[in-house]
Amino acid sequence: MEHSSCFLANLVKTETKRVLLKVIYQINICQYIVHRHPEFWDNPEKFDPDNFLPSKVNQRPKFAYFPFGAGQRICIGKSFALMEATIILASIFQRFRLELVPQQIELDPTFTLRPKYGVKVKVWKRS
């Protein structure tokens, strides 16, 4: 599968014998596949926020969901991004009600995975 965010993990192992031998292994872990793997998700293609209830999260292996990577090179913006997203979503939903327009969402797998033509919603101002 062609997907730039597949290239996540580099494992470098150095062995010392009579001469210095540098062995490089590269392990690519594809979030697109792991985040949709039927072994970890009941209905992998469905967006279901309930998947992130503590009771569900506790049933999955820790790295079945790793949008910010993991280990030494984990995203340094993780806490900021989660806080930012929470504030933006709360600000929008305090003022507006949104309803998804039924549509086929085409994906644009460039550096990040995003909807190619956006996601259409109907918007109502809350009184």
CB under 6 A: which stretch of 45-53, 64-72, 101-109, 114-122 binds ligand HEM? 64-72
Nearest residue (CB) to ligand HEM, 7 versus 124: 7
Q: Integer distance in angstroms from the first to the last C-alpha of the chain?
A: 47
What per-residue string of b and e applies to 22-41 under the rule 16 or more CB within 10 Å gives b?
eeeeeeeeebeebeeeeebb
CB of 43 to ligand HEM, least distance (A): 22
Give the tokens for residue 73.
């090179």
Beta pairing, strands 121-125 & 113-115? unpaired
Q: Which one of 37, 60, 73, 122 is in contact with ligand HEM (CB under 6 A)?
A: 73
Using CB under 6 A as the binding rule, whether residue 70 contacts ligand HEM is answered as yes
Token pair of 114, please?
């995003």
Query: Is 100 one of the binding residues for ligand HEM (CB under 6 A)?
Result: no
Residue that has been written with the tokens 């970890």 in this structure:
40
Closer CB to ligand HEM, 27 or 101, in the complex: 27
x-or-dash pattern for ligand HEM, window 7-46, by CB under 6 A? Answer: -x--------------------------------------
